[in-house]
């Protein structure tokens, strides 16, 4: 599966150029021009790398990054900026950027920096981490939930982030704030129903796959709880599933 790079930059010409160059090199790419578009996109999936401009409409890139880091602390982020002074680079790195490149730049340098940032993401996908939820298999690496060796459904990266958190805290009430952070949502969960909509989708998927399971329960005023039996698989267990 091709690694995915998102570009958040309001310069349409530069965004189109980077999109084309990344795709030519075998990466899947997506161009976003406004922080609000990033928030909506993260409700559906997550990239392997974010290329983030500092001078965005209505909001600085460092502000976007500080909020992003609350829910996605390990997402590789490369900041691009016309602000190339040492204090600007330090501010970007302090906000949580993994790398900082000033404009104008050579695309070859950008490509090499992107390749370096994507290496850890590529290696992490080699470590299998899956769960049994009742009789179902949840495989975060394959973005998949279903009956072992049988029918299942594909999950979005946002679905996976939520379900991983619920599995890791099975039996506990998980707040909407924690779920919002896990999914990388940039919107205030108190002002948005996006988390509730996505949890409803997960419950519907569980019901379709195993109507008797009743996996996720709503705890009114507090959050959600995974009530199904959960067991984390160790490397090598998948073959026995």
Instruction: Let me know whether 60 and 109 are in one domain.
Output: yes
Look at residue 229 in the predicted model and tell me its pLDDT: 92
Domain count for the chain, please give it: 2
Reported as a single tens digit per residue, the pLDDT across 72-128 is: 878 899 999 888 888 888 888 888 888 999 888 899 999 999 998 988 654 444 344
Mean pLDDT to the nearest integer, 172-186: 76
CA atoms within 13 A on the CB side of 205: 23
Residue 45 pLDDT more than 90? no
Instruction: Let me know whether 164 and 118 are in one domain.
Output: no
Mean pLDDT to the nearest integer, 219-238: 82
Reported as a single tens digit per residue, the pLDDT across 163-176 is: 988 998 999 999 88
pTM of model > 0.75: no
Place of tokens 């704030």: 177
Instruction: Let me know whether 41 and 142 are in one domain.
Output: no
Instruction: Let me know whether 11 and 119 are in one domain.
Output: yes
């Amino acid at each position: 599966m091709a690694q995915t790079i998102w570009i958040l930059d309001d310069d349409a010409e530069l965004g189109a150029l980077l999109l084309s160059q990344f795709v030519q090199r075998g990466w899947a790419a997506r161009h976003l021009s406004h922080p609000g578009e990033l928030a909506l996109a993260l409700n559906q999936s997550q990239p392997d790398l974010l290329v983030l401009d500092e001078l965005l409409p209505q909001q600085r890139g460092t502000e976007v990054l500080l909020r992003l880091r609350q829910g996605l602390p390990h997402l590789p982020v490369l900041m691009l900026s016309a602000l190339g002074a040492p204090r600007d680079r330090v501010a970007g790195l302090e906000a949580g950027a993994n790398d900082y490149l000033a404009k104008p730049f050579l695309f070859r340098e950008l490509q090499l920096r992107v390749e370096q940032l994507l290496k850890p993401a590529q290696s992490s996908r080699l470590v299998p981490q899956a769960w049994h939820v009742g009789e179902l298999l949840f495989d975060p690496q394959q973005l998949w939930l279903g009956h072992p060796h049988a029918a299942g459904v594909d999950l979005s990266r946002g679905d996976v982030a939520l379900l991983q958190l619920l599995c890791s805290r099975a039996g506990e009430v998980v707040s909407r704030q924690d779920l919002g952070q896990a999914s990388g949502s940039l919107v205030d969960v108190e002002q948005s129903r996006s988390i509730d909509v996505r949890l409803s989708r997960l419950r519907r998927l569980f019901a379709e796959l195993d109507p008797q399971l009743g996996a996720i329960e709503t705890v009114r005023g507090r959050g959600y709880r995974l009530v199904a039996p959960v067991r984390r698989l160790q490397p090598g267990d998948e073959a026995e599933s």
